[in-house]
A and B are shown apart, each in its own frame.
Chain A
Amino acid sequence: MPELSKMKKPDVKVVLLGDMNVGKTSLLHRYTERKFKDTISTVGGAFFLKQWGPYNISIWDTAGREQFHGLGSMYCRGAAAVILTYDVTNWQSLAELEERFLSLTDTANHDCIYAIVGNKADLTDPNAQLSQDSDGVSQDQTECEEERTEPQVLSACPTPPASPASLSGMVLHKQVTHEDAVALYGRILRYKGLEEKSSLPAEKVCFETSAKTGYNVDTLFETLFDLVLPSILRKRNENQESPTVDLEECRGASSKRAKSTCC
């Protein structure tokens, strides 16, 4: 048993970022525990190790609260993928990604993959209300289109309460469309100085999910894991030489001396 735990060195790091109450913890919980439950506001960041086939993927679930903003760049250091999460019923949560969270990703790997995830899709989209765990990415585009034809129910409150009304079938006004997310992705690439052509296309990395019903959640994580696979392999090859320090430190592990360099 101890042997086992020792073996679990993370191969790659994935970070969940986004404003508070968008459902980062719930997404991760849905993926790892297969259920949806009430969560409380995350304190700092929580580290999870996910076994994915032969690989160990570390996932940082960070607090969205402004209070913990200072730690963000530490969580992102050396990240191979960053999941920027917003709430489809809350425009501000998308805006915050750009204003507050994007700069935190400066410490991520240069080839880091950025995914833009609109959670709480069950609130706006009848399709997402069905508990289905694996839908193709393509499907969410169709949803998006449907969404526009939907009757719009105006909601007075910008941030819907944590326990949504999806069970009752009520549909909330969708404030953020898929196109908005795609546009944000374009701006992120520009911010990072990346060519759109050479980067992943937006449709591969923009998702709409529901942690509550499980809609698209597995798709999200598994697509991402597939996408970071090359960096896992490269990392394994490079062995100790990698410039991304943290994980290496951890790998170098048992000798305490090595660690002092990590700051």
Chain B
Amino acid sequence: MERDNHQEGEAQGVKICDSPSESNPPADTLATSLSLLGNHMFPDPVERNDGTTVVKEEPADLHLSDVTAQEQSLDAEHVSNQVKKLETEAAENSECQNNESTETTERGTEDAAIDNDQSDSGEFVVTMLAKAKLEEQGIGVKGRSSPLLEAGTQESPAFMSHRDEDVTADSWRQHRKHVFVLSEAGKPIYSRYGSEEALSSTMGVMMALVSFVQSSDNIIRSVYSEEHTVVFLQKGPLVLVCVSSSRQSEQQLRGELLYVYYQIISMLTQASISRIFEHKKNYDLRRLLAGSEKILDGLLNLVDSDPSFLLAAIHCLPLASSLRDSLSQILQKAITPNLVFSILIAKNQLLTIVQEKTVIEDTRLEPADVHLLLNLIGASSAFQAGEIWTPICLPLFNPDCYFYAYISYLDPPECTVCLLLLSTDKEAFYAVAECKRKIEEAMVAQNSLSLIAKAQSYSVSQVGVSDLRHFMYKPFDVPDNYRQLTQFTSPEMEAPYSSEGEKMRLLDLYRYMHSRIHSTSRPLKLIYHVAERETLLAWVTSKFELYTCFSPLVTKACAITAITKLLRWIKKEEDRLFIRYPPKYSTTPNPSKSSRGGKSDQQDSTDNGFLSLL
């Protein structure tokens, strides 16, 4: 049962084809090369998930969870295979990415259908994975030496487009997190590193994997190996794949892929993407996304470095509530028909947000939509003197229609304070620009800009709890009875977390705590975790979610006391740390309702319950 797919490297070389029928020959090659490699690479046959993992389903012995593929046939030829878990939908196996594959049993064998091709399909899967793997793993080196493989190497970077990275280089494989987006026809749409052209065969393999599993009415969700986790997400006609060595949980990675999907939707809308692919299955979506790669790159960098995405909450800039209120009032007064959101941002953090009340009565802006907006602003700031007017879709609000965003900086040339006005009227630019003039005037009159300039994040030392190094606090519904933008607060990361590397290490610890807390199989409420250089405590209640980081020697009792103090401090500072009562205005005697409501009903839009209200 186990084979080693380990040769990812090789795999690369192997040409895999997308269709199962062709898979055979490569599989053979693979097998051969595998066996060559197998022994030395993985001495211990079992249970190390090495890289590849394919998973097939197998009855119980391996850990793998579920899955559809069959493995039997394969064993014969190879040596040890280890790993595998393809998790299909059914199985969620939570925490064990690594070794613990606990639950195997119940997934019985579902191989039924596949018997005769078994062998073929089995090999096919292996091949696929091996191939897929290549990208992930840096390993593989040996594989390369094998003559068998060479023939297949297709990626010659003859024509490098925006990213010139050599996708055959080790450095490329060693990226911590790759993200690929492809269409159902296997056409490359986006790759975080390297050019899509050079990766087209790799993406073809990914798609083949997806369709192979699909052909037995199953869905491929992830592939685990010792060092990498491969997560698949299918959304409509798009397939998103993440190959990560970051040790994040599958859920977290899938959440990140979802952000990528939403960012694409925010540029094109879900409706138009489906329309395009219904029309032409092999459409090259890069035509429409050309130029947007930097927006996606920026998003992925933010996702890696900003815990807002992990917590699905907004981080607003701490501000005296009187100042925040006065800013809100300024926004509230500068309105025009069809204006639905007015958002003020400083240093990439939210200052205040005012929303139209009739249309959006019971809804709130989802944090994810705000994150996408912030990312868009970051990416469009190149030419900061101008006033930007662009269509943008807020996918969680309504994935199928556009808002029109007016973006302008209020403090050129520094460009730290940004005004974002969203209208439902495509033609409203001049009217909306006039709102900005009013806002500008009012802010000059109240000297708001210099007050905003003084605002800054806070230091954990202000909390006055010794041993506390950092924390993230996310209240649910602040204030209690008010449905509100989900927010969190967090101090600056200070020494010892001031270097980039250390920041990332702390974030990784938080991600780990988060994955434990939110584990689907064994969710936890409270975790006290003693790490090498610090001690962390995470706690979730019905009122909040809290992650704290202490110096290493703190005891559990001390930590609990510290948290009590911290909570008291937050309570006291709450007006400054959070946007408490988001103000509203009314711009519409009636008009914009129709534009939004009309479109919305035709869509399936699953999660927007509010649409029905309109």
Interface centre among B288, B405, B425, B434 (most CB of A within 10 A): B434
Query: 1/0 contact trace for A244-259 toward B, CB 8 Å?
Result: 0011011001101001
Query: Quick one: which of B140-159 are within 8 Å of A by CB?
Result: 159
Determine the chain A residues whose CB is within 8 A of the CB of B335 once the complex forms: 256
Task: Please pick, from A47, A246, A259, the residue contacting B386 in the complex, using a CB distance under 8 A.
Answer: A47
> Are A259 and B430 within 8 A (Cβ)?
yes
> Are A32 and B385 within 8 A (Cβ)?
yes
Binds B, one of A61-69, A203-211, A226-234: A61-69
Determine the chain A residues whose CB is within 8 A of the CB of B383 once the complex forms: 25, 29, 39, 42, 46, 61
Whole-angstrom distance from the CB of B598 to the nearest CB of chain A? 15
With A and B bound together, what is the CA distance between A263 and B268 in angstroms? 23
Determine the chain B residues whose CB is within 8 A of the CB of A48 once the complex forms: 385-387
Whole-angstrom distance from the CB of A163 to the nearest CB of chain B? 12
Determine the chain B residues whose CB is within 8 A of the CB of A67 once the complex forms: 267-268, 288-292
Whole-angstrom distance from the CB of A259 to the nearest CB of chain B? 4
With A and B bound together, what is the CA distance between A47 and B405 in angstroms? 13
Binds A, one of B94-102, B437-445, B603-611: B437-445
A45 with B389, Cβ < 8 A, contacts A65-B290, A263-B427 known: yes
Q: Within 8 Å of chain A (Cβ to Cβ): is B426?
A: yes
Query: 1/0 contact trace for A11-52 toward B, CB 8 Å?
Result: 000000000110001000100110000111111111110000
Q: Within 8 Å of chain B (Cβ to Cβ): is A71?
A: yes
A253 with B434, Cβ < 8 A, contacts A2-B440, A67-B268, A67-B288 known: yes
Q: Within 8 Å of chain A (Cβ to Cβ): is B287?
A: yes
> Are B430 and A262 within 8 A (Cβ)?
yes
With A and B bound together, what is the CA distance between A41 and B390 in angstroms? 13
Task: Please pick, from A32, A41, A46, the residue contacting B387 in the complex, using a CB distance under 8 A.
Answer: A46
Whole-angstrom distance from the CB of B589 to the nearest CB of chain A? 9
Whole-angstrom distance from the CB of A83 to the nearest CB of chain B? 16
Task: Please pick, from B288, B433, B434, the residue contacting A66 in the complex, using a CB distance under 8 A.
Answer: B288
> Are B431 and A43 within 8 A (Cβ)?
no
With A and B bound together, what is the CA distance between A218 and B335 in angstroms? 38
Q: Within 8 Å of chain A (Cβ to Cβ): is B388?
A: yes
A71 with B426, Cβ < 8 A, contacts A41-B292, A47-B388, A61-B386 known: yes
With A and B bound together, what is the CA distance between A156 and B289 in angstroms? 24
A263 with B428, Cβ < 8 A, contacts A45-B390, A253-B434 known: yes
> Are A68 and B433 within 8 A (Cβ)?
no
Determine the chain A residues whose CB is within 8 A of the CB of B379 once the complex forms: 40, 43
Q: Looking across the interface, which residue of chain B has its beta carbon closest to that of A262?
A: B427
With A and B bound together, what is the CA distance between A63 and B440 in angstroms? 26
Whole-angstrom distance from the CB of A208 to the nearest CB of chain B? 23
> Are A44 and B337 within 8 A (Cβ)?
no
Q: Within 8 Å of chain B (Cβ to Cβ): is A70?
A: yes
Q: Within 8 Å of chain A (Cβ to Cβ): is B252?
A: no
Q: Within 8 Å of chain A (Cβ to Cβ): is B294?
A: yes
Determine the chain A residues whose CB is within 8 A of the CB of B426 once the complex forms: 71, 74, 263
Q: Looking across the interface, which residue of chain B has its beta carbon closest to that of A44?
A: B390
Q: Within 8 Å of chain A (Cβ to Cβ): is B380?
A: yes
Q: Within 8 Å of chain A (Cβ to Cβ): is B113?
A: no
Query: Quick one: which of A146-165 are within 8 Å of B by CB?
Result: 156-157
Whole-angstrom distance from the CB of B374 to the nearest CB of chain A? 14
> Are B430 and A250 within 8 A (Cβ)?
yes
> Are B337 and A256 within 8 A (Cβ)?
yes
Interface centre among B267, B289, B386, B426 (most CB of A within 10 A): B386
Q: Looking across the interface, which residue of chain A has its beta carbon closest to that of B381?
A: A40
Q: Within 8 Å of chain A (Cβ to Cβ): is B557?
A: no
**Cross-chain pair count, CB within 8 angstroms:** 123
> Are B291 and A249 within 8 A (Cβ)?
no
With A and B bound together, what is the CA distance between A263 and B336 in angstroms? 13
Query: Quick one: which of B443-461 are within 8 Å of A by CB?
Result: 444-445
With A and B bound together, what is the CA distance between A254 and B433 in angstroms? 11
Q: Within 8 Å of chain B (Cβ to Cβ): is A197?
A: no
Q: Looking across the interface, which residue of chain A has its beta carbon closest to that of B589?
A: A260
Whole-angstrom distance from the CB of A127 to the nearest CB of chain B? 28
Query: Quick one: which of B78-126 are within 8 Å of A by CB?
Result: none
Q: Looking across the interface, which residue of chain B has its beta carbon closest to that of A26?
A: B383
> Are B390 and A43 within 8 A (Cβ)?
yes
Query: 1/0 contact trace for B353-377 toward A, CB 8 Å?
Result: 0000000000000000000000010
> Are A40 and B430 within 8 A (Cβ)?
no
> Are B290 and A20 within 8 A (Cβ)?
yes
Whole-angstrom distance from the CB of B122 to the nearest CB of chain A? 42
Determine the chain B residues whose CB is within 8 A of the CB of A142 once the complex forms: none
Task: Please pick, from A25, A65, A253, A260, the residue contacting B292 in the complex, using a CB distance under 8 A.
Answer: A65
Q: Looking across the interface, which residue of chain B has its beta carbon closest to that of A61?
A: B386
> Are B159 and A156 within 8 A (Cβ)?
yes
Whole-angstrom distance from the CB of B578 to the nearest CB of chain A? 30
A66 with B430, Cβ < 8 A, contacts A47-B388, A48-B386 known: no
Query: Quick one: which of B367-426 are within 8 Å of A by CB?
Result: 376, 379-380, 382-383, 385-391, 405, 425-426
Whole-angstrom distance from the CB of A63 to the nearest CB of chain B? 7
> Are B288 and A65 within 8 A (Cβ)?
yes
With A and B bound together, what is the CA distance between A250 and B441 in angstroms? 17
With A and B bound together, what is the CA distance between A263 and B376 in angstroms? 26
> Are A259 and B428 within 8 A (Cβ)?
yes
Whole-angstrom distance from the CB of B420 to the nearest CB of chain A? 12
Q: Within 8 Å of chain B (Cβ to Cβ): is A5?
A: yes
> Are A47 and B425 within 8 A (Cβ)?
no
Determine the chain A residues whose CB is within 8 A of the CB of B380 once the complex forms: 40, 42-43
Whole-angstrom distance from the CB of B191 to the nearest CB of chain A? 17
Determine the chain B residues whose CB is within 8 A of the CB of A5 once the complex forms: 437, 440-441
Q: Within 8 Å of chain A (Cβ to Cβ): is B429?
A: yes
With A and B bound together, what is the CA distance between A250 and B436 in angstroms? 13
Task: Please pick, from B405, B431, B437, the residue contacting A262 in the complex, using a CB distance under 8 A.
Answer: B431
Whole-angstrom distance from the CB of A142 to the nearest CB of chain B? 33
> Are A74 and B388 within 8 A (Cβ)?
no
Interface centre among B335, B430, B431, B445 (most CB of A within 10 A): B430
With A and B bound together, what is the CA distance between A29 and B382 in angstroms? 11
Determine the chain B residues whose CB is within 8 A of the CB of A249 once the complex forms: 430-431
With A and B bound together, what is the CA distance between A42 and B385 in angstroms? 13
Whole-angstrom distance from the CB of B592 to the nearest CB of chain A? 11
With A and B bound together, what is the CA distance between A45 and B440 in angstroms? 21
With A and B bound together, what is the CA distance between A249 and B445 in angstroms? 26
Task: Please pick, from B268, B429, B437, the residue contacting A47 in the complex, using a CB distance under 8 A.
Answer: B429
With A and B bound together, what is the CA distance between A63 and B388 in angstroms? 10
Q: Looking across the interface, which residue of chain B has its beta carbon closest to that of A255?
A: B434
Q: List 14 A-B contacts (CB under 8 A).
A: A5-B437, A40-B382, A42-B291, A43-B379, A44-B390, A44-B405, A64-B291, A65-B291, A66-B288, A157-B159, A249-B431, A256-B431, A259-B430, A263-B428
Q: Which residues of A contact B (CB under 8 A)?
A: 1-2, 5-6, 20-21, 25, 29, 32-33, 38-48, 61, 63-68, 70-71, 74, 156-157, 246-247, 249-250, 253-254, 256, 259-260, 262-263
Q: A43-B295, A46-B389 are in contact. List 14 more A-B contacts (CB 8 A).
A: A5-B440, A25-B383, A38-B382, A39-B382, A42-B291, A48-B386, A64-B291, A67-B267, A67-B289, A74-B429, A246-B427, A246-B430, A247-B430, A259-B434
Q: Which residues of B contact A (CB under 8 A)?
A: 159, 267-268, 287-292, 294-295, 335-337, 376, 379-380, 382-383, 385-391, 405, 425-431, 433-434, 437, 440-441, 444-445, 591
List of 7 A-B pairs having minimum Cβ-Cβ separation, nearest first: A44-B390, A41-B291, A46-B386, A250-B430, A2-B441, A259-B431, A43-B380
